[in-house]
Structure formats: structure tokens, C-alpha cells
A and B are shown apart, each in its own frame.
Chain A
Amino acid sequence: MNILLPASVPEALDQLANDATALPMAGGTDLLVHWPVRGEAHERTYVDLSRLDSLKPLRWTADELMLGGLTTYWDVIRDARASEEFPLLVDAARQVGAIQIQARGTWAGNIVNASPAADGVPVLMAYDAVVVLESRRGREEVPLDRFYSGYKQMKRRPDQLVVGIRIPRRRYTYQVFEKVGARRAQAIAKVGLAVTRSGAGWRVVAASVAPTIRRCPAVERLLETGAAPEGPDDLLPTLAQDVAPIDDIRSSAHYRTRVMARVLYHDLSDFWGKGA
């Protein structure tokens, strides 16, 4: 194992360009679980980002919120404007582990860890977040809903570093985040759902029901029509076009599909005129 400790972003980009197997490390909450002390010794090189102070703060501009590459969940939880304008970011952050993880874990790390059960990614995607990647070759921006191409597969190339996450500021008329886990805290999602509605339309994002976090275009189209389902089961054919859950240690495909339909139905019951 080798650790590189760049003092600046350009230095980190040089190190990533020089070694295609090097892995950037931020808060370490995912990587330390497989650290040599616990797992097997390995020859991997880590580019540690902890000295890159320029990536830490989140910034508000007239038309967007920009999370830094090292902005943590706790940074967002404690930002009063985030609670007002992007409440789902705060809802989701508060369900990531507990304070000990929220204080270290980063939004960018959640994106590149690429877990299909991530908590931060669904809400970012429901807010049309854009991943800002930088390398010695220059800057590239990839909308988060086009960032993943398969299980743990993503558009980030090995020499690229996530230096920020851009979130457009919009007026939302509807927003909800649901996480179904075995326990309220310290649990990994069996099913996750983030839904928003703005002038840009509906966004429905599902977690833990496909190889990647993904939008549900068929459900979004159904919402645009305003047609109300009679009950949760009516949503199953539409959901089947969007998700492909599996059986694993945390849940079964059958349970996940049923719960997703019920959560969606009940969360949107006001919109569909079905009462609470």
C-alpha cells in the first residue's frame, strides 16, 4: 500500500495521471472498511485528498449550490439554506450512518463509491446534479443521471477527480425522500426513493432496485399525465419498465418491488387526490 499526499489539486491530478490504478481518498469511510489492517494487504496507491482545503466548502451562487469535492454530509446538514432549498439533501444526509460517518463521509465519495444502495446519490439525482470532473486534460461535466453505465461502472476515468457537484437552484413544488432499511440509523437501504417536481418536470429516482441508482422514466411519464392509479399494485407494470431488483442478503426482489410501489403510491397520494 502506498499513500500520496498532494498539497494542491494540480499535484493530485498529476498523481492520478501518472498511475491509472491510484484511488483518490477523501473521508475514508468506505475505503477503510477494506483497509489492509482489516482486509488483505494490497499494493494499491491512494491519493489522499485531505490537505486539499479548496475542495472542502460548499458555495451558493445566484443560480446554483456547488458542493466541493470534499464537502461532507455534516457540512450540508448544518447549512441552514440547504435545509430550506434542498431539504432532501439534508433528509438523506441524516440517514447516512450517524454523526460519526456524516462528519467524515463526502457527497463526492458517495457518488464514486457507486453503490446501488447509496443514500446521497438519489437525492442529488432528483435535483439534477452535475458531476464536475477535473484532470490534467481539462474539466468535464457529466449529469449525474448519465454518470453510471452499470454496476459500479461510471463515466469517471482513472485520471479524473470529482472536484465539485453543481445543483441548480429551482422552485420545487414537490419533494420527498424515503429510505426503507432494517433500522432507521446505521442501515443500508433495501429500497430508496427520491421524487421532485419543478418547472423542469418530475424526477423519480430509485435506489437498491437496479444495478445503479437510476431515474424511473416510465414513472415520470405517468406522473406527467396526472393519471391516478387505483392502488399500489397499479404501479407495478410501470415500475417494471424502470427497475430490476435482485434477491440479496438485505432483501428480496419481490419485497423490493412491492415496497417501492407502496412507498411511491403513498408518498404521491396527495398529488393523485387520494388523501393521506
Chain B
Amino acid sequence: MPAISITFTLNGSPVTVEVDPAARLLDTLRYQLALTGTKEGCGEGECGACTVYLDGLPVNSCLIPTYQVRAHRVETVESLDPSALEPFERCGATQCGACTPGVVMTAWWIHEHPELLGTHTIRELMAGNLCRCTGYDGIIDSVEEAMGERGRGKREG
């Protein structure tokens, strides 16, 4: 089957790419668009290392065919201000770092939606991001700390 041409909004700007119908969003981001912050861990939707936002919700980019994001909005870890990482560094929650890009994406989503904590715990919301160093308490502490200092902004533009 021939390539499909799609346009979508990536980190705030429109992009157009020609993709194989079987291409996964994860691979398109990394190998066609050079956004290598998004990592592949398990490749089957278990570990969350490849977490990006699709229309504002965290999703596993390894489970999304790229053509499905046509006309939608995608944000990757490159869209976050580096300060989003600081609570993780302070709490010692960046151990080997393999899970960190995905962890930070889910954590920032929680940070931007404090209303979720009316029904969910941070631990439940973070359950889709596995840490192979098992540094979960540090990760939860980091999100709690970040929630305590809400108001520091996402990078402009």
C-alpha cells in the first residue's frame, strides 16, 4: 500500500509527513521527525516509556498508527519546559533514566489537571509508567512536590 500523507499539529506547529500505513507514531516521531525524547521500552503498551499527548491525553505512541493522528494534536516530551524535570532530580527519581521521558509526560499531565486528584491517586494515574529501577516512591514524591508548586509554566510557543 502506498504512503499516506497526513498533516497534524506537533508541539504547537503543523507538520506534514508521508508515512507507511503500518508506521507507528513512536517511529515517525523518532526517525522521521527527529524527536528522540520519546523512547521505546516494551513496544506493546505496558511500560509507558513512549508516552505522548494525543489531543491532551497521555497515550502510548507505540500503539498508535501514525495515520490516526491526522488532523489531531500531538505533544511530545520536547514540548515541556526543562523545569518539569527538576522535582524528579531533587527527589532522586531519575535513576537509569529509561522511563523518565514517559514518566515526566504523565506527571505533567497530572500537574495540569489537579481536578483528577478528586477521584484518583497519583499512584493510580502513574500506573502506566513502569520504572525498571523500581523507583516508584521517588517518582510519586516528585509528582507530589510538583503539585505543591503549581504555576510554573510550560515553555511558550
A contact set with B: CB distance below 8 Å: 1-3, 5, 27-29, 32-33, 35-38, 48, 50, 74, 77, 83, 94, 97-101, 103-104, 184-186
Is the CB–CB distance between B22 and A37 below 8 Å? yes
A28: chain B residues within 8 A (beta carbon): 63-65, 68
Is the CB–CB distance between B65 and A35 below 8 Å? yes
Q: Does B48 contact A (CB under 8 A)?
A: yes
Within the complex, the shortest CB–CB distance from B69 to chain A, in Å, comes to 9
Is the CB–CB distance between A32 and B62 below 8 Å? yes
A83: chain B residues within 8 A (beta carbon): 119
Is the CB–CB distance between B67 and A33 below 8 Å? no
List CB contacts (< 8 Å) of B18-67 with chain A.
21-24, 27, 43-46, 48, 51, 54, 57-60, 62-65, 67
List CB contacts (< 8 Å) of B88-127 with chain A.
106, 109, 119-120, 124-127
Contact A94/B124 with A3-B4, A100-B51 known, Cβ cut-off 8 Å? yes
Chain A, residue nearest B22 (CB): A36
Listed by A's residue number, 20 A-B pairs whose Cβ atoms lie within 8 Å are A3-B65, A27-B63, A28-B64, A32-B24, A32-B44, A32-B45, A35-B22, A37-B24, A48-B65, A98-B124, A98-B125, A98-B127, A98-B128, A99-B125, A99-B128, A100-B128, A103-B59, A185-B127, A186-B127, A186-B130
B contact set with A: CB distance below 8 Å: 1, 4, 21-24, 27, 43-46, 48, 51, 54, 57-60, 62-65, 67-68, 106, 109, 119-120, 124-130
**CA–CA, A32 and B62, complex, Å:** 8
**CA–CA, A55 and B44, complex, Å:** 26
Contacts A77-B119, A98-B124 known; 11 new A-B pairs at CB < 8 A? A35-B24, A37-B23, A48-B65, A98-B127, A99-B57, A99-B109, A100-B58, A103-B59, A104-B59, A104-B63, A186-B46
Chain B, residue nearest A42 (CB): B22
**CA–CA, A1 and B143, complex, Å:** 42
Q: Which applies to chain A's interface (DSSP): helix, strand, loop or mixed?
A: loop
**CA–CA, A38 and B22, complex, Å:** 10
Is the CB–CB distance between A3 and B127 below 8 Å? no
A29: chain B residues within 8 A (beta carbon): 45, 60, 63
**CA–CA, A4 and B120, complex, Å:** 38
**CA–CA, A101 and B54, complex, Å:** 12
Within the complex, the shortest CB–CB distance from B29 to chain A, in Å, comes to 14
Contact A100/B48 with A36-B22, A37-B22, A185-B127 known, Cβ cut-off 8 Å? yes
Within the complex, the shortest CB–CB distance from A112 to chain B, in Å, comes to 17
B60: chain A residues within 8 A (beta carbon): 29, 100-101, 104
B126: chain A residues within 8 A (beta carbon): 98
B124: chain A residues within 8 A (beta carbon): 94, 98, 185
B128: chain A residues within 8 A (beta carbon): 97-101, 185-186
